[in-house]
Amino acid sequence: MNVLVVGGAGYIGSHTTYELIRAGHEVVVLDNLSTGSHKSIHPQAHFEWGDIRRKGDITRVLKAQAQAGKPIDVAMHFAAKLIVPESVTQPLAYYENNVEGLRCMLEALIECGVQNIVFSSTAAVYGEPKAPECREGDPTEPINPYGETKLACEKMIKWAAAAHGLNYCILRYFNVAGADASLQIGLDKDQLTHLVPLIMQAALGLRDKLSIFGADYPTPDGTCIRDYIHVTDLAQAHVLGAAYILNNNTNVLANLGSGTGFSVKQVVDAALELFDVPFEYAPRRPGDPAKLIANIDHAKTVLGWEPQHGLQSILKSDYDFRQKLNKSSEV
């Protein structure tokens, strides 16, 4: 496959690029580097600067690939804003980037004859689930603007696919964490908001303490329950999903998680078995549901995918990556 990875300089996009290249595929990365880093792009990937909100940036790359005799087979979308609390305070920015950006991307794909798209969605589309596990057919009732924009994108893809004969693979992520085994890439951002890297920063002394937001949720220990998936497992699912829709000329919607729920306190306790992690409890954050766990049977059955990494592997890989970053900054 020749794959266009839009947002390939970011956390999940860069890991997916690594897995695509390891599987023998060719990759073109398009990114505006607003949150991603050029150093996270695989050295064998071809990089083009571009903004998803400008259709001309995407068509330029697609046409250039076609003219070079290497037309894009599948396009992958990783170029979304994704911080839940920020989406509550900046909803219009999220609609502008996430929804309008995807509209521009779809127009470019249709104009240039690219029929396959893999889209990164989120468990946030489920809102406050009623069942113990989220299944793909469950009601979608987001409780924050981030989830609303992702759901709007899912619907846009489905309508565009019906009108223009596109094939899509929509993957709903649960909590993604960890780093590539090479430690060349990981979650490398100045402003971190996700639990696992925040734990590691506290363990490495890069922040005074970890804040656990909310201890009064309707869960056994009062903290939020989430499903944590290693970023490498997630990236490998994208490779399988792209090949599936390309080879079968069909569509798929699937959850990606571990299928197991851990409370925030349980994750902290697991980290405490490996490192010293100072922490404190803080008030709830707006827009956080109490519990999100994936049912991943569909991804297993359709894509032949199975997560290989557990919670300890996630924690250890992120710690090792962050420790490497810290040492590099001290040189």
Tell me the catalytic residues.
146
With beta carbons less than 8 A apart as the criterion, state whether 124 and 134 touch.
no
Q: From CA 237, how far away is CA 171, in angstroms rounded?
A: 9
200: left (phi over 0), alpha (psi -120 to 50) or beta: alpha
Q: From CA 109, how far away is CA 57, in angstroms rounded?
A: 12
CA-nearest of 173, 157, 166, 172 to 250 is 166
Half-sphere exposure of 180 toward its Cβ, with a 13 Å CA cutoff?
22
Q: From CA 251, how far away is CA 3, in angstroms rounded?
A: 17
User: Longest C-alpha distance within the chain, in Å?
Assistant: 59
